[in-house]
Amino acid sequence: MTVIFILTAFAGSLFAQTRLNGAGATFPYVIYSKWFDIYYKNTGVQINYQSIGSGGGIKQIIEGTVDFGATDGPMSDEHLADALKKQKSEVLHIPTVLGAVAVAYNLPTEGKNIRLTSTVLADIFLGKITKWNDTRIAEDNPGLSLPNRAIIVAHRSDGSGTTFIFTDHLAKVSAQWESKVGRGTSVNWPIGLGGKGNEGVAGLLKQTVGSIGYVELAYAVKNNLPYAAIQNKAGAFVAPTITSVTAAAAGAFRDMPEDLRVSITNPEGKDSYPISGFTWLLVYKNPKDHVKRDALTQFLKWALSEGQSHAADLLYAPLPKEVRERSMQKVNSIGK
Amino acid sequence: MSARRAIARVLARYGISPVSQDGTNISDRLFRAGTFFFALLILVLAGVMVYQMVDGSSLSIREFGWKFVTSSIWDPVREEYGALPFVYGTLVSSLLALLLAVPLSIGVAVFLSELAPRWIERILSFMVELLAAIPSIVYGLWGMFVLVPWIREEVEPILSDHLGFLPLFEGAPYGFGMLAAGLILTVMIVPIVASISRDALRSVPRSQREAAYALGATKWESTILVMKYARSGIFGAALLGLGRALGETMAVTMVIGNRPIISASLFDPGYTMASVLANEFTEATTEMYLNALIEIALLLFTITIIVNILARLLMWTMTQNTAQGGRI
């Protein structure tokens, strides 16, 4: 009896001293730091996270300098192969939450939010639609008085997962965008002003009348910027909300590949908001350190169950049930 | 002196004479060797930096060659990298800042060292030095929320109404752009240029001023004389200011509009080398992308060195001219 007691106490203290180090995406930083804080209070497991950007997160997981990475855009096949070669372990993508990219704008119009089709959105960012009262915008917005003002496009100047999601969407809906600009964390923008970070773009938008740009939903809400309802694949105009983003993930579930690397820009479903994306934690399938492995697995299980309830308060969308189950299977496969 | 004697005693105990054969003191020689070593470290550091950057950008150097410097397309999606717009943006914004800041700073410095009553001078000097200590992110935020709206609402409309026929002031007034970058850099380098210029003016011997007065010079004439005497110091101050402007990152990024284009108009957005590094380095995932960014760092390093060398040559020819019989 005493032996068991001592053993469990020993195991407990061993666990309590476990420290996990992670690095990567800035976009989920707010929810992650909240999770790590709560998890530390509950279990004593300390998780350090540095939000150095998705590119950095991928680099570090390949080099093996962290216990887990984090990214907004899935790793490429070359990166995965590289990691396998260097770390002798497969890297798994575990979706944690979803985020929406809102198309925010600054226009002195009263009343309801503007509606944009995806092709109109692409043409605005291509510089083909230059005035707010262009007939193609007006068509979808009867009853909204649009001013005869130049459209000023604002975009992120720093490399970002948000940019990837946004340009990925435009590339899917506009052939010209795909051929002329393409998708990426940084692209060669045809027009517009660049702001550093979400706060930079939000600042540009807030200050410049007639501007339009994309930011994470949380920044549009916090800055009281109006944002557009975007037409989805089913033809409905949908505004970004927690529910419409979760709906988008559910809509994309059918086409989800086995490794969970999936983009959900332009998904099925009439309630789906078309410009949103997963954010992933990157973990080794066969980590060398077993204590750390068990601690990380425990944390991931917690994050995918109880942790999800903290997402909505911070304007991240929780994973739909189907995706959560698939992610849980992945977590259970760690170390096996 | 007693410390020195103590060292000599210790050295003597081990049979080392404090004075070597050629007559120099051994502690002096140690001192000399030590400081020489530290001075050498600077060179080694610069060398290692260059090596690291050349090594880190080898992929893109091999792929693009000189096209990297002459092309103006920066497209991470298609992996096509040309740095010309960044070079242009860095040079134009810095030179604009220098053009505005140097006359202003000299004015401040002359007032502080020659004209101001002691108590005003003390307060103002303190304020100027305080300005130099403000972190650049604070300047950036101020630039974004105060300077840019002012430029958009007041400065650019006036410039475009009266001087709109010049290509320099063409286009729509966004506020964000090259002009905003130049102005924020001006504000940032004025303190450093002004305070070093003031020190240079102050170090001009009193006898120079007294001689001028004795010959019947007015305050204005004697000040001109003092400025001429101190010009290499003032020039050095401007050079330090330029150095700061070339490398400034955060504040510029926040107001320049971050668009890699080359445009004659100061109203248009631009981009600088330091800004693109700060913006894109963290998310650069492919090897070539990373290499291209490191090559930009190398380019910035090279350009800073070239600008410094040119400025020193300029200063050298200036002082040379005076030595050969020019008027002081």
At residue B327, the pLDDT reads: 43
CA atoms within 13 A on the CB side of B201: 23
CB B254 within 8 A of CB A196: yes
Please check the confidence at residue B279 and state whether its pLDDT lies above 60.
Answer: yes
In Å, how far from its chain's centre is CA A198?
A: 13
Q: What average pLDDT does the segment A222-230 reach?
A: 91
Contacts (Cβ under 8 Å, ≥6 apart) of B265: B167, B168, B169, B170, B171, B178
Tokens for B286, please give them.
Answer: 């492919």
DSSP track, B276-288: HHHHHSTT--SHH
Q: Rounded distance, CA B163 to CA B157, Å?
A: 10
Of A141, A247, A330, A200, give the one whose Cα is nearest residue B144.
A200
User: What's the gap in Å between the CA of B265 and the closest CA on chain A?
Assistant: 15
Please check the confidence at residue A10 and state whether its pLDDT lies above 60.
Answer: no
**Residue A23 dihedral angles phi and psi, to the nearest 5°:** -155, 155
Please check the confidence at residue A150 and state whether its pLDDT lies above 60.
Answer: yes
CB contact under 8 A, B77 and A55: no
Our CA angle for A174, A212, A193, nearest 5°, is: 95
- In chain B, whose CA is at the least distance from the CA of A208? B174
At residue A33, the pLDDT reads: 92
> Domains in chain B, please, with CATH?
86-285+301-323 (1.10.3720.10)
CB contact under 8 A, A194 and B149: no
CB contact under 8 A, A187 and B258: no
Read off the pLDDT of residues A264-274 as tens digits, 9 standing for 90 and up. Answer: 888 888 899 99
**Residue A128 dihedral angles phi and psi, to the nearest 5°:** -85, -30
Residue A259, Cβ density class (10 Å: 0-12 exposed, 13-18 middle, ≥19 buried):
middle
Of B84, B291, B268, give the one whose Cα is nearest residue B178.
B268
The span from the first CA to the last CA of chain A, in angstroms, equals 32
At residue B17, the pLDDT reads: 62
pLDDT confidence band for B2 (50 / 70 / 90): low
What is the identity of the amino acid at A7?
A: L
pLDDT confidence band for A299 (50 / 70 / 90): very high
Chain B, 105 to 144: residues with Cβ < 8 Å from chain A are 144
What is the identity of the amino acid at B41?
A: L
B257 touching A, CB under 8 A?
Answer: yes
Higher-confidence residue: B15 or B67?
B67
pLDDT confidence band for A78 (50 / 70 / 90): confident
Read off the pLDDT of residues B55-109 as tens digits, 9 standing for 90 and up. Answer: 999 999 999 999 999 999 999 988 999 999 999 999 999 999 999 999 999 999 9
| CB burial string B184-219: b at 16+ within 10 A, e below | bbbbbbbbbbbbbbbbbbeebeeebbeebeeeeeee
Share of chain A above pLDDT 90, in %: 53
Mean pLDDT of all residues in chain B? 88
Q: What is the CA radius of gyration of chain B?
A: 25
CB contact under 8 A, A181 and B77: yes
CB < 8 Å to A223, chain B:
none
Read off the pLDDT of residues B211-262 as tens digits, 9 standing for 90 and up. Answer: 999 999 999 999 999 999 898 889 989 998 999 999 999 999 999 999 999 9
User: What's the gap in Å between the CA of B319 and the closest CA on chain A?
Assistant: 44
pLDDT confidence band for B22 (50 / 70 / 90): low
Residue A254, Cβ density class (10 Å: 0-12 exposed, 13-18 middle, ≥19 buried):
exposed
CB contact under 8 A, B284 and A55: yes
Chain B, 9 to 48: residues with Cβ < 8 Å from chain A are none
At residue A136, the pLDDT reads: 93
B72 touching A, CB under 8 A?
Answer: no
Note the pTM of the prediction, 2 decimals: 0.82
At residue A1, the pLDDT reads: 47
- In chain A, whose CA is at the least distance from the CA of B149? A207
CB contact under 8 A, B283 and A150: no
**Residue B250 dihedral angles phi and psi, to the nearest 5°:** -60, -55
CB B101 within 8 A of CB B193: yes
pLDDT confidence band for A7 (50 / 70 / 90): very low
Instruction: Supply the DSSP symbol for B260.
Output: -
B145 touching A, CB under 8 A?
Answer: yes
pLDDT confidence band for B1 (50 / 70 / 90): low
User: What's the gap in Å between the CA of A254 and the closest CA on chain B?
Assistant: 29
pLDDT confidence band for B33 (50 / 70 / 90): very high
At residue A189, the pLDDT reads: 94
Closest CB to B285: pick one of A55, A196, A208.
A55
Length of chain A: 336
Mean pLDDT of all residues in chain A? 88
B172 touching A, CB under 8 A?
Answer: yes
pLDDT confidence band for B325 (50 / 70 / 90): very low
Please check the confidence at residue A251 and state whether its pLDDT lies above 90.
Answer: no
Closest CB to A159: pick one of B148, B260, B282.
B282
B280 touching A, CB under 8 A?
Answer: yes
B75 touching A, CB under 8 A?
Answer: yes
Q: What average pLDDT does the segment B19-27 reach?
A: 69
CB contact under 8 A, B253 and A160: no
Higher-confidence residue: A145 or A283?
A283
B74 touching A, CB under 8 A?
Answer: yes
